[in-house]
């Protein structure tokens, strides 16, 4: 039996590539001297795409592959994939939910504590020898005590963050596309209203046109001078320049970011700020979790080609 041809636009973990090479005829686009010419030469053969958040699977790419059946994404976020266009073409799109939920939620709480208590800045203080030369690190203005946490995007990860935050004594509010049944947390109809009711904003929302720069200067101002913003969703959700201005001018207290608008570039102005804690998109970056994500992506491909259905289809193609 012929192995289905799979296009791999960007590098994946070696353990995943090993299985893909074993079970499929793979086409690693990033290895080609002329990717466009190579894609033209194999377009008719491609039955599936093993994608990742760094890859762009837009309508143009999809339309170049007339026999494409499935796009299996390595990651829960799939804003780089035009899922609606795939649905119109009858192409399945899958992602890897659940398996990274707990790891990302842990990272979110870690970022929150680091930002509020200035842990990164105090570590730099120690490493620079200032504890010995200048005395104890100054008392921090920020604390978790009495904080109200507004979660923008109360999905699987948002709920896992909420459970952890409740254990720290935080009061939880949320905003999303709709009020959720069976959720006791106060719901706010828009993001500015959520920010005004809270002093801590946790961004867990997906990227895309609907959420681009949703956290803007007005939302940050509503959060207030004791405000803290944490983003483990997508960098595009926050207006980075507005955030930089707010941090510089004391409009808010601090920020913790695991994602940026133009990854892997983090703005130099953000890097220079002591009240910004910055991570290089490591929310789910443990071997344990990434292996689980890869396994689920492989399961989606295998069940599709063997049984004609997927394990975790995205909403646009689940019907």
Task: Confirm whether 173 is a catalytic residue.
Answer: no
Which of 31, 36, 166, 263 is catalytic? The answer is 263
Task: Confirm whether 234 is a catalytic residue.
Answer: yes
The count of C-alpha atoms lying within 13 angstroms of the C-alpha of 316, restricted to the half-sphere facing its C-beta, is: 19
**Contact (CB, 8 A) for 248 and 234:** no
Task: Confirm whether 281 is a catalytic residue.
Answer: yes
Question: Is cis: bond before 264, omega within 30 of 0?
Answer: yes
**Contact (CB, 8 A) for 211 and 237:** yes
Which two three-digit tokens encode residue 131? 């504890």
Which of 234, 240, 261, 290 is catalytic? The answer is 234
Collapsing DSSP to helix, strand or coil, 231 comes out as strand
Give dist(CA 191, CA 307) in Å, integer.
42
Give dist(CA 62, CA 66) in Å, integer.
8
Q: Parallel, antiparallel, or unpaired: how do β-strands 148-152 and 171-175 relate?
A: parallel
H runs (alpha helix) in the chain: 14-23, 35-42, 59-63, 83-88, 101-116, 119-127, 130-134, 156-167, 191-197, 217-223, 240-248, 268-271, 287-307
Nearest alpha-carbon partner for 277 in 256, 246, 263: 256
What is the side-by-side strand order in the sheet with 92-94?
Answer: 25-28, 5-8, 46-51, 70-73, 92-94
Strand partners, 238: 215
The count of C-alpha atoms lying within 13 angstroms of the C-alpha of 13, restricted to the half-sphere facing its C-beta, is: 18
**Contact (CB, 8 A) for 155 and 133:** no
Nearest alpha-carbon partner for 167 in 187, 186, 149: 149
Which of 27, 188, 281, 290 is catalytic? The answer is 281
The residues annotated with a catalytic role in the active site are 234, 263, 281
């Amino acid at each position: 039996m012929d192995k289905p041809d799979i296009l791999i636009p960007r590098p994946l973990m070696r353990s995943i590539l090993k299985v893909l090479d074993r079970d499929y005829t793979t086409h690693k686009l990033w290895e080609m001297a002329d990717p466009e010419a190579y894609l033209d030469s194999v377009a008719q053969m491609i039955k599936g795409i093993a994608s990742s958040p760094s890859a762009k699977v837009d309508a143009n790419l999809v339309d170049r592959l007339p026999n494409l059946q499935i796009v299996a994404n390595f990651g829960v976020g799939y804003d780089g994939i035009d899922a609606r266009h795939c649905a119109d073409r009858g192409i399945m799109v899958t992602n890897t939910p659940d398996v990274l939920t707990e790891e990302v939620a842990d990272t979110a709480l870690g970022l929150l504590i680091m930002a509020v208590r200035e842990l990164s800045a105090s570590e730099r203080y120690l490493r620079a020898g200032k504890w010995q030369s200048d005395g104890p690190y100054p008392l921090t203005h920020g604390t978790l005590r009495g904080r109200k946490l507004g979660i923008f995007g109360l999905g699987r990860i948002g709920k896992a963050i909420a459970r952890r935050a409740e254990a720290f004594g935080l009061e939880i509010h949320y905003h999303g596309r709709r009020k959720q049944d069976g959720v006791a947390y106060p719901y706010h109809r828009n993001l500015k209203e959520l920010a005004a009711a809270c002093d801590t904003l946790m961004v867990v929302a997906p990227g895309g046109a609907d959420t681009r720069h949703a956290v803007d200067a007005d939302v940050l101002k509503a959060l207030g001078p004791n405000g803290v913003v944490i983003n483990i969703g997508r960098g595009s959700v926050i207006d980075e320049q507005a955030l930089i201005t707010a941090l510089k001018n004391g409009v808010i207290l601090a920020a913790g970011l695991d994602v940026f608008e133009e990854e892997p570039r983090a703005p130099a102005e953000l890097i220079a700020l002591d009240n910004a804690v910055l991570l290089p998109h490591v929310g789910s970056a443990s071997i344990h979790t990434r292996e689980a994500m890869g396994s689920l992506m492989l399961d989606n491909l295998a069940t599709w080609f063997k049984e004609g259905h997927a394990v975790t289809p995205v909403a646009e193609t689940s019907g």
